[in-house]
């Protein structure tokens, strides 16, 4: 374990709060969080300018929409379905503080991608 990855919910959320803070302090274009790839490929999301961005299959998009019921300050702003790619890119606007955004990132990764409770997440770009 190091300061760029975590595998427990509380530790992941603290990691994400720190990453969001660093992203904002550095005025970087975005921050990226990745989870261990599986047979479906890499799983990731990005955050920038109050927007969480992630790719979803149709089933994953349904889980994202259901998750948003628990986060009323978060709304799907845009869905893009490129012709040359499977799935949908979802852009979720987040009107919340760093802690709530970190909680959403953790829950989105776990819920949308149907990961176990002890999934490991890495902050790979800040």
pLDDT in tens, 42-67: 899 999 999 999 999 999 999 999 99
Tokens of 79: 């869905």
Q: How many CB atoms lie within 10 A of CB 62?
A: 12
Task: Extract the tokens encoding 34.
Answer: 């990745």
> How far apart are the C-alpha atoms of 119 and 34, rounded to whole Å?
11
Q: Where are the beta strands (DSSP E) in 68-112?
A: 74-80, 88-94
State the average pLDDT for the chain: 93
pLDDT, average across residues 1-7: 73
Domain range for 47 is 5-125
What phi, psi does 120 have (nearest 5°)?
A: -100, 130
Split into its structural domains, the chain has a count of 1
Residue 4 has pLDDT above 50, yes or no: yes
pTM: 0.92
Per-residue pLDDT tens for 71-116? Answer: 999 999 999 998 887 889 999 999 999 999 999 999 999 999 999 9
What is the rounded radius of gyration, in angstroms, for the C-alpha atoms of the chain?
14
């Amino acid at each position: 374990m190091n300061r760029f990855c975590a595998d427990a919910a509380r530790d992941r959320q603290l990691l994400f709060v720190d990453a969001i803070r660093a992203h904002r302090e550095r005025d970087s274009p975005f921050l990226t969080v990745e989870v261990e790839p599986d047979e479906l490929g890499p799983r990731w999301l990005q955050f920038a300018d109050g927007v969480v961005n992630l790719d979803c299959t149709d089933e994953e998009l349904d889980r994202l929409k259901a998750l948003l019921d628990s986060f009323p300050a978060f709304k799907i702003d845009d869905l893009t379905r490129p012709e040359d790619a499977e799935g949908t890119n979802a852009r979720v606007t987040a009107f919340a503080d760093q802690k709530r955004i970190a909680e959403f990132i953790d829950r989105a990764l776990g819920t949308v991608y149907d990961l176990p409770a002890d999934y490991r997440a890495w902050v790979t770009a800040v």
